Amino acid sequence: MAHAYTPGLQVAVETTVRKARLLPMRGEVLVEKGQAVEAHTAVARAELPGNVHPVNVVNRLGIAPAEIRRYMLKNVGDAVNAGEPIAQTSPWLKFLRTTCASPVGGTIQGISDVTGQVMVQEPPRRLELSAYVRGRIVDVMPEEGAVVETRASLVQGIFGIGGEGSGPLAVPVAGPDQVMDEEAAARDWRGAVIVAGASVTAEMVRAAARGGASAIVAGGIAAQELYDMLGYEVGVAITGAERVGLTMVITEGFGTIAMAAGTFSLLKSLEGRLASVNGATQIRAGVQRPEIIIPLDGAVPVRDEEGAATGAAPAADGLRAGDAVRLIREPHFGLIGRISELVPELQPIETEARVRVMRIRLDDGRTVTVPRANVEVIKH
C-alpha cells in the first residue's frame, strides 16, 4: 500500500492563511478588496435581534385573556424600561390596584388576547466582526463578510478552549520541556500570548488571566487541571465559548508533555511578533483545530538543519515513509517520530484484530510498531 490516509496537525513555518470572516446574518461589510487590515480591524457588522421575553400579564392581574387590552398601559411598538408598568387594574380603591411591570427594557412586540401574554423584545445588539489576523482583504461578499489573507507561520494544536484573541508572543521558558513557574505566570502580561512550555495548571491559567494575558500555549495539561479550571468535563462537542479569561491552546496532549522541538523553536524565533490565537476545537465530524497564526510581514522564518524552510510545501494527501507523526494512543501517547516503514500486510494486535501498521522511529531513537489509526500526521 503506497500510503495511508490519516488526520493531522499542521506546523508550517511559512504558508498562506486565508480566513473567511462571515456574519451569522445579513449585515454591512466595512472593508474593500485589497485593503490592509489589522487583527482588530472591524470587517463587518450586523444588528442581532434582542431576546424576546413573554410576560404573563393575565396571571399577574387576575383577569381573562380576552380582557388584556383594557388594562394595558402600553401598545405594540411602544418603548418600555425595565421595571416600568405595562399593565394595571383600576379599582376604586388605590391600595387594591395590581400592576404588572416589564422585566427588561425594550419594545412591546405583541399582545395576545388568546394566551394573555405580552412579548417584550430587548434592544438589538450590534455584532462587529474583526479581521482576526493581520493581512489583506482578498475577497468581499456583500452583506456577508470578507476573506483575509496573510503570509504567516501556522501552528495547529491538539486541544483548546476559549475563542479568538491576539497579542505579542512571549516565551518565558528556555526550552520545550520546561514549565513556567508560578511567579512567572503571575507577571503583568498585558495582552500577551504566552508560550508556557511543557504544561500548565489551572492556577497558572488563572494567574495569567489575572495578569491580562490574551492566550496561553503549552504542550499539555492534566485532565484534572482542566476539570478544576472549567468545573465540568469537556465532551466531544466544539469548544471555544468557555469563559476563563483567556484562550488556551494545547499542542501535544493531556499530561505533562514537552512541546515538540520544532514547534517551540518556531514560536521562540518569532517572540515579540503579533500572534492570532483561537482555542475552538471540534474532534469529530467537521474537525476544527485550535491554532496560532503569526503573520510574518517580511520576517525570516526559522530554518531546519538543512537550511530550507520546513513549511513552504503543501501537505500531502496521505502518509508516506519519512513523514513526521505524533502518536495519539497509549503507551506512546504524545511522542513524536518519523515513519520508517508502512507495512502493507495486516498484522495482529493485542485486541486480536488484524490491522495495517507502521514502524515509527521516535525522536529518542527507539523504533515502535503501531496501528495506522494510532497516529496523527504533522503537516509541514
59 phi, psi to nearest 5 deg: -70, -40
Contact 44, 144 (CB under 8 A): yes
Instruction: State which H helix or E strand residue 224 sits in.
Output: helix 223-230
Asked whether residue 329 is assigned to any structural domain, the reply reads yes
Tell me, yes or no, whether 266 and 212 share the same domain. Answer: yes
Burial of 5: CB neighbours in 10 Å, binned 0-12, 13-18, 19+:
exposed
Tell me, yes or no, whether 333 and 242 share the same domain. Answer: no
The single-letter code of the amino acid at 50 is G
Asked whether residue 312 is assigned to any structural domain, the reply reads no
Angle at 15 between CA 13 and CA 19, to 5 degrees: 125
Tell me, yes or no, whether 333 and 276 share the same domain. Answer: no
121, 142, 168 - which closes a domain: 121
Distance separating alpha carbons of residues 188 and 49, to the nearest angstrom = 38
Tell me, yes or no, whether 190 and 229 share the same domain. Answer: yes
Asked whether residue 17 is assigned to any structural domain, the reply reads yes
Tell me, yes or no, whether 69 and 211 share the same domain. Answer: no
Tell me, yes or no, whether 190 and 227 share the same domain. Answer: yes
| CATH number assigned to the domain comprising residue 371 | 2.30.30
Tell me, yes or no, whether 37 and 64 share the same domain. Answer: no
Q: What is the pLDDT along the chain (380 residues), one digit of tens a residue?
A: 344 444 567 889 999 999 999 999 999 999 999 999 999 999 999 999 999 999 999 999 999 999 999 999 999 999 999 999 999 998 776 777 899 999 999 999 999 999 999 999 999 999 999 999 999 999 999 999 999 999 999 999 988 999 999 999 999 999 999 999 888 888 999 999 999 999 999 999 999 999 999 999 999 999 899 999 998 887 656 888 888 999 999 998 888 888 988 899 999 999 999 999 999 988 665 678 899 999 997 665 555 443 333 433 333 346 788 888 878 777 877 677 889 988 888 888 777 778 888 899 987 889 998 888 778 777 65
Tell me, yes or no, whether 16 and 158 share the same domain. Answer: yes
Q: Do the bridges between strand 117-121 and strand 52-56 make them parallel or antiparallel, or are there none, so unpaired? A: antiparallel
Tell me, yes or no, whether 352 and 372 share the same domain. Answer: yes
72, 93, 121 - which closes a domain: 121
Tell me, yes or no, whether 191 and 262 share the same domain. Answer: yes
Asked whether residue 309 is assigned to any structural domain, the reply reads no
Asked whether residue 63 is assigned to any structural domain, the reply reads yes
Tell me, yes or no, whether 172 and 262 share the same domain. Answer: yes
Asked whether residue 144 is assigned to any structural domain, the reply reads yes
Domain count, the chain: 3
Q: Which domain holds residue 76?
A: 52-121
Distance separating alpha carbons of residues 17 and 262, to the nearest angstrom = 20
Asked whether residue 211 is assigned to any structural domain, the reply reads yes
63, 87, 121 - which closes a domain: 121
Give pTM, 2 decimals. Answer: 0.75
| CATH number assigned to the domain comprising residue 113 | 2.40.50
Buried b (16+ CB within 10 A) or exposed e, 43-60: bbebeeebeebebebbeb
Tell me, yes or no, whether 231 and 86 share the same domain. Answer: no
pLDDT at position 313: 36
pLDDT at position 91: 74
Asked whether residue 304 is assigned to any structural domain, the reply reads no
